[in-house]
Amino acid sequence: MKGSGTGRYHAGWHRAVRYVAQRMLLRPVVHSVTRTTVEGLDNLDGLERPFVVVANHSSHLDTAVMVSSLPRDVTGHLAVGAAADYFYAKWWKKVATSVFFNTYPIHRNAGAARRGRKGLTQRLVNEDVPVLIFPEGTRSRDGRMRPFKPGAAAICVARNAPCVPIALLGAYDAMPPGRSWPVDGRPRVRMLVGRPMRPRPGEKTREFNDRISARVRTMLEMQTPYVVADSAPPGGTDHRRDQTQEEAS
């Protein structure tokens, strides 16, 4: 059921506008200024809403890479958590991020959160709207992954929703903080999509958050979406196989 203030995230007209913005406008730009590859898409087989996507965060390029490269059945309803103090401070930023990324505001200041739309992430997930969250809370200033805040894990535990871990490599070098456009030379960016994770019976938020963080860190260090914790699903996809989808350059 749609709640107060969440109608846009269910609207067919908004999905149609986003499709044009993400696939026909954003995607060609992303692939013209970077050499983006996606690995592990087979890990998404059978994924159903709602789910929570998490990723390490080191560049404003991160969201553009994900929403323009993930499959349409993942991004079609996906809402992206965005810092309210940055992306909602000016009307044109709010409109632009809404059209291209289907954002909703996340208040990083506790006082603002109490006055603002606290709990919107939970409401969206309860209404079967999948969300994308960067658990570090802000971009890394040196490219290294910081500890994850527990918000995404708490949502998954409360709803027993799957968490899709994503590791982004190369985005920091391609467009580090302080730049408004990627560096020259079409730098390589890799998106590694891990197998969805679910909270274990009785698992606490902190424990699940630690597992999510460890999974993303392991994918970054091993540079593969297929890590030891992943096992082949029934029917037998071999997760040791490097499944890479590379856009034509």
Rounded to an integer, the average pLDDT of 200-227 is 97
Give dist(CA 64, CA 100) in Å, integer. Answer: 8
pLDDT at 83: 85
* Per-residue tokens: 1: 């059921």
CATH architecture of 10-227: 3-Layer(aba) Sandwich (3.40)
Give dist(CA 219, CA 104) in Å, integer. Answer: 28
206-218 pLDDT, tens digit per residue, is 999 999 999 999 9
Q: Is the pLDDT assigned to residue 122 strictly greater than 60? A: yes
Give backbone dihedrals phi and psi of 145, rounded to 5 degrees, phi first.
-70, 135
132-190 pLDDT, tens digit per residue, is 999 999 999 999 999 999 999 999 999 999 999 999 999 999 999 889 999 999 999 99
In the chain, where the domains are located: 10-227
* Per-residue tokens: 5: 């203030």
pLDDT at 114: 44
User: 188 pairs with which residues across the strands?
Assistant: 35
Q: Is 38 exposed, middle or buried (0-12, 13-18, 19+ CB in 10 A)?
A: buried
pLDDT band at 232 (very low <50, low <70, confident <90, very high): very low
Amino acid, single-letter form, for residue 21? A
